[in-house]
């Protein structure tokens, strides 16, 4: 049976939950404090770029199963199932900031008028749902209102979130009440019909599954990046290494793609929160901490690689004291989002790399199909260009930072005629090295050892 659902918080996760649950046949009210966002959503305009989301948004608005409001109290009283989907950003100490969540829980406590299932979809530290249960128990005891608390973490991949919501690998539900379990089965009946695996567990287990999953994936990225750095040093090809590793069923090829480091809304803050949780319980997360440190170093390494390329092209010694090969240069940066198919720049490697370029005295001309508006709020001094080819005009060097498909088939002849120095640093390895080198570029990727080979071929004193 379809349920009346309130989705409290309509950011990335909340919007996907609202349109998805409505498409499952439930009646959903999306709640957010931002009136401008609510007005746009009710007009069928998504505040985020995510392939497919606006189609589902408009379809379910038209069906009458979905609407948006700023009136949280009314939405809570009208709904049987309450999804908490507010942000839990990282604090300075690495822990998750639960201030938004606590405000929502307080509002729920003030509006308990009948039995409700409170579902936490926000990523929260282990123990948070137990705290919600205790807080609402204290509030509901006086009013004599019954309720249940459920942990239902999300596993959406930005750029593929719509597909992930409707066809997830698994659905994790921390639930300790048969009544709540029956209701959650109704809420997700559409997923049961397509045989999606359900993991039923307690609250703490569900919370830890989310953190453990993200930490493991982040660790895989940091691991393959460190292997890529070693491959450069010894003259190996990291793509062949990763391909062979991925053929081992125990390892799997996913997340074995070298690059400038991981970013986004989940991996950085979730790994930091897990390390903080481990320290709190005196169980150091040494592997995860190392993954975090390796990720920071990887972004720094991209700047070092660019300096090496420019130094070699200009026949200067990058190791010379006081040498700054990037000073006065114009760098065309292609890609600002932390990954393709999203406008999300949160913790994007481009943030640190562009900052490093500017601090080195370089000028930056940038292009990204979707993320330039968000990026310009942080770096207004960057020149933003309507196309990749506009970005390379008047530039000295090209740096690829995001693996957008349109960058895979760049017109290298056109770029070669535009840039002052035919230099490309491809931090995502999306270009064919043979094609780029054939066009006369000085080119390097990540983990391919290309610059080292080019330098050794000419007997240069500069080494990679």
Q: Given this model, what pLDDT does residue 5 score?
A: 98
For the chain, give the secondary structure using H, E and C: CCCEEEEECCCHHHHHHHHHHHHCCCEEEEECCCHHHHHHHHCCCCCCCCCCHHHHHHHHHHHCCEEEECCHHHHHHHCCEEEECCCCCECCCCCECCHHHHHHHHHHHHCCCCCEEEEECCCCCCCHHHHHHHHHHHHHHHHCCCEEEEECCCCCCCCCHHHHHHCCCCEEEECCCHHHHHHHHHHCHHHHHCCCCEEEECHHHHHHHHHHHHHHHHHHHHHHHHHHHHHHHHCCCHHHHHHHHHCCCCCCCCCCCCCCCCCCCCHHHHHHHHHHHHHHCCCCCHHHHHHHHHHHHHHHHHHHHHHHHHHHHCCCCCCCCCCCCCCCCEEEEECCCCCCCCCCCCCCHHHHHHHHHHHCCCEEEEECCCCHHHHHCCCCCCEECCCHHHHHCCCCEEEECCCCHHHCCCCHHHHHHHCCCCEEEECCCCCCHHHHHHCCCEEECCCCCHHHHHHHHCCCCCCC
- Which domains are seen in the chain, by residue range? 4-201 (3.40.50.720), 225-464 (3.40.50.720)
Please say if the pLDDT value at position 320 is more than 80.
no
Q: Given this model, what pLDDT does residue 227 score?
A: 97
Please say if the pLDDT value at position 368 is more than 60.
yes
Q: Given this model, what pLDDT does residue 453 score?
A: 58
Q: How confident is the model at residue 314 (pLDDT cuts 50, 70, 90)?
A: confident
Q: Is 175 a catalytic residue?
A: no
Marked catalytic residue, from 28, 175, 201, 266: 266
Please say if the pLDDT value at position 449 is more than 90.
no
Average pLDDT in the chain? 93
């Amino acid at each position: 049976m379809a349920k009346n659902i309130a989705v409290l918080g309509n950011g990335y996760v909340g919007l996907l939950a609202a349109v998805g649950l409505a498409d499952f046949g439930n009646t959903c009210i999306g709640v957010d404090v931002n009136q401008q966002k609510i007005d746009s959503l009710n007009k069928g305009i998504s505040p985020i770029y995510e392939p497919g989301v606006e189609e589902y948004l408009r379809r379910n608005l038209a069906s009458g199963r979905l609407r948006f409001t700023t009136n949280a109290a009314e939405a809570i009283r009208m709904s049987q199932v309450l999804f908490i989907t507010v942000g839990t950003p990282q604090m300075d100490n690495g822990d998750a900031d639960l201030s938004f969540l606590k405000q929502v829980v307080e509002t729920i406590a003030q509006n308990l008028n009948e039995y409700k299932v409170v579902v936490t979809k926000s990523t929260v530290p282990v123990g948070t749902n137990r705290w919600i249960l205790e807080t609402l128990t204290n509030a509901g005891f006086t009013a004599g209102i019954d309720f249940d608390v459920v942990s239902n973490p999300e596993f959406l991949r930005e750029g593929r979130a719509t597909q992930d919501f409707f066809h997830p690998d698994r659905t994790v539900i921390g639930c300790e009440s048969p009544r709540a379990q029956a209701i959650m089965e109704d809420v997700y009946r559409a997923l049961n019909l397509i045989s999606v695996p359900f993991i039923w567990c307690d609250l703490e287990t569900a919370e830890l599954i989310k953190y453990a999953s993200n930490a493991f994936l982040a660790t895989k990225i940091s691991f393959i990046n460190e292997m890529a750095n070693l491959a450069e040093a010894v003259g190996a090809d990291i793509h062949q290494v990763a391909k062979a590793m991925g053929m081992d069923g125990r390892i799997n090829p996913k997340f074995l793609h070298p690059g400038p480091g991981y970013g986004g809304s989940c991996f950085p803050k979730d790994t930091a929160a897990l390390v903080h949780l481990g320290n709190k319980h005196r169980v150091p997360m040494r592997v995860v901490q190392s993954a975090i440190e390796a990720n920071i170093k990887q972004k720094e390494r991209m700047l070092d690689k660019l300096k090496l390329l420019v130094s070699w092209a200009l026949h200067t010694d990058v190791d010379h004291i006081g040498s700054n090969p990037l000073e006065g240069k114009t760098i065309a940066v292609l890609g600002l989002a932390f990954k393709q198919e999203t406008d999300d720049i949160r913790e994007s490697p481009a943030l640190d790399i562009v900052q490093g370029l500017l601090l080195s005295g370089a000028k930056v001309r940038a292009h990204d199909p979707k993320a330039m508006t968000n990026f310009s709020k942080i770096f207004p001094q960057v020149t933003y260009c309507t196309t990749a080819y506009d970005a390379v005009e008047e530039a000295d060097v090209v740096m690829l930072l995001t693996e957008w498909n349109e960058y895979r088939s760049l017109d290298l002849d056109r770029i070669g005629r535009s840039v002052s120095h035919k230099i490309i640093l491809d931090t995502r390895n999306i270009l064919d090295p043979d094609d780029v080198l054939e066009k006369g570029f000085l080119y390097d990727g990540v983990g391919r050892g290309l610059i080292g080979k080019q330098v050794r071929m000419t007997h240069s004193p500069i080494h990679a």
